[in-house]
Structure 1
Amino acid sequence: MAPVTPTQATTGLPEAPRTLDRREGPHGEVVLRQRGGPLEGPGTDGHGTPGAPVVYEIIANGCFLMDTSDGRSERLLIDAALAALPPGRARPSVLIGGLGVGFSLARAAGQPRWGRIVVVEREEAVIDWHRTGPLSAVSAAALADPRSEILHTDLVAHLRTDADQVAYDALCLDIDNGPDWTVTDDNGSLYSPTGLAACRDRLTPGGVLAVWSAQPSPAFEEALRNAGFSGVHTEEIPVVRGVPDVVHLARKGA
């Protein structure tokens, strides 16, 4: 029998995360880690902390992005956008920027009102973790929904250069820790005047832009107003420690 790795149950110390997959891609390193539950992935021995809930984490270039421990703010991203749409708009379409751990996609697919649901994700590893890996526990039903599709491409490039220039009723963007804390430098252009103009151009009249952030950003609210959006406001989700997660919301003129 393989030796049992010491865990929180036996040492009284917080259990260290275990790396399930690590990939080098065109935008740097992405890592999937697990806390709690039995060990999974190559090279593990099947032992873990008995009864501990399983939490998966995504790390990009050493920066923590998100995990499966909560998901309230990712769900709010979808709920708030849907609530902000003009009344009576039937079967609105939504583009979700960033697949992440899948909470936003699962929320949209769980709401019958949405029509087309498009997810843009630039990291092939993240898509794999959902289609054939552990994150399928969150997203399998949503990926099987005929309304849903995943585009393996860069969000910033897609918004600016997509040949079809399809307009959406809602853009729900969660590719960074917020406008003031981007995962890679090139993502910063999304929150620039040019990037916000591209977002506005990809919305239908009255369409909604929703942007997730790990902290409020009054400067970004002002940038949205300067870019010609109306109804700019922020909704908050309290967290255990520190400032709340937020969703910045803005509407394109009718």
Structure 2
Amino acid sequence: MPISYDIPEVLDRREGPHGEVVLRRHGELLQIIANGCFLMDTSDGRSERLLMDVALDALGGRPEPGVLIGGLGVGFSLAHAAADPRWGRITVVERETAVIDWHRHGPLSALSAPALADPRTEILEMDLVAYVNETSNTYDALCLDIDNGPDWTVTEGNDGLYSASGLASCVRVLRPGGVLAVWSAQPSPEFEGSLRNAGFQGVRTEEVPVARGVPDVVHLGVRPG
């Protein structure tokens, strides 16, 4: 009997200002690929939920905190935030029209439809780095998941977010006592040092064990009050 291999099915492929983005179905999983680089799939979501939980816990019971989520992805972070009534305004910045479409009208709506219908939710279609550098809005928490981590950026230019000037912009848009939480596919001691150099307090790294061995992590820092 011939061996049957499970070949991913391309559901949509788009060319945008930042290159190619692809939505695939691989068995029961949905996957997002950007310029040939695997970004994420719907297999787990524990670390994305941790991203939201550690930020909220670090705020210490602040009433109805506003959160900026950097990157819509497959929707785990948004869905988890919207399922928690303690969050106030939930703003998501996503630069890829295709990703937003897949959530509003495509297969990813199965994960995000209730969150998108939540009156607290706002989706902004724009580049996160530009938004953080330019906005006059402020937030109680910034939960960022736009790369595979500070040491493994997906798109040229994103590394500026993790630089001294990028972290200074994050400080500027955080309210006093606000929290910066950054998802990463691997721990980065260097980034912990960058957070401290930028003036963040209580810097720590939370790990989520994964099957491949190297844990997903969330880097966390608090703006001084």
TM-score, reference length from structure 1:
0.87
Q: By how many angstroms is 1:161 displaced? A: 1.0
Gaps of 5+ in 2: none
Q: Cα offset for 1:12? A: 4.6
Q: Aligned partners of 2:16 and 2:48: how far apart in 1?
A: 25
Q: Give, in whole Å, the separation in 2 of the partners of 1:223 and 1:197.
A: 11
TM-score (normalizing by structure 2): 0.98
Pick the aligned partner of 2:52 from 78, 81, 101: 78
Match in the other structure for 2:147: 176
Partner of 2:125: 152
Letter of the aligned partner of 2:90 in structure 1? I
Specify which of 247, 250, 253 is matched with residue 218 of structure 2. 247
Instruction: Supply the distance in 2 between the matched residues of 1:137 and 1:88 (Cα, whole angstroms).
Output: 31
SS of 1:185's equivalent? Answer: coil
The higher radius of gyration belongs to: 1
* Cα drift, residue 35 of structure 1: 1.3
- Residue in 2 that maps onto 1:207: 178
Following superposition, the deviation at residue 16 of structure 1 comes to 1.4
Uncovered stretches (5+) of structure 1, i.e. residues with no partner: 1-9, 37-53
**1:41-92 alpha-carbon deviations (Å, 9 max, x no partner):** xxxxxxxxxxxxx21000001000000010100111001100111x331000
Take 1:72 and 1:32, find their aligned partners in 2: how far apart are those partners?
21
- Structure 2 vs 1, CA of residues 20 and 90 (structure 1 numbering), >3 Å: closer, same or farther? same
Cα drift, residue 185 of structure 1: 1.2
Where do 4+ consecutive residues of structure 1 move more than 3 Å? 10-14
Corresponding residue number in structure 2 for 1:16? 7
In structure 2, how many angstroms separate the alpha carbons of the residues matched to 1:208 and 1:198? 13
Letter in 1 for 2:18: H
Structure 1 position 242, deviation (Å):
2.5
1:29 maps to which of 20, 23, 29: 20
Instruction: Tell me the secondary structure at the aligned position of residue 157 of structure 2.
Output: helix
Q: C-alpha distance in 1, partners of 2:203/2:48?
A: 19
Q: CA RMSD in A?
A: 1.0
Q: Does 2:32 align with 1:61?
A: no
**Which letter maps to 2:205?**
T
Aligned-pair distance for 1:14? 4.1
**1:88 matched residue in structure 2:** 61
Higher RCO structure, 1 or 2 (CA under 8 Å, sep 6+) = 2
- Distance (Å, rounded) in 2 between the aligned partners of 1:233 and 1:15: 40
Query: SS of the residue aligned with 2:183?
Result: strand
Q: After the TM superposition, which residues 124-143 of structure 1 pair with which residues of structure 2 at under 5 Å, given as runs? A: 124-143=97-116
Structure 2 equivalent of residue 39 of structure 1: none
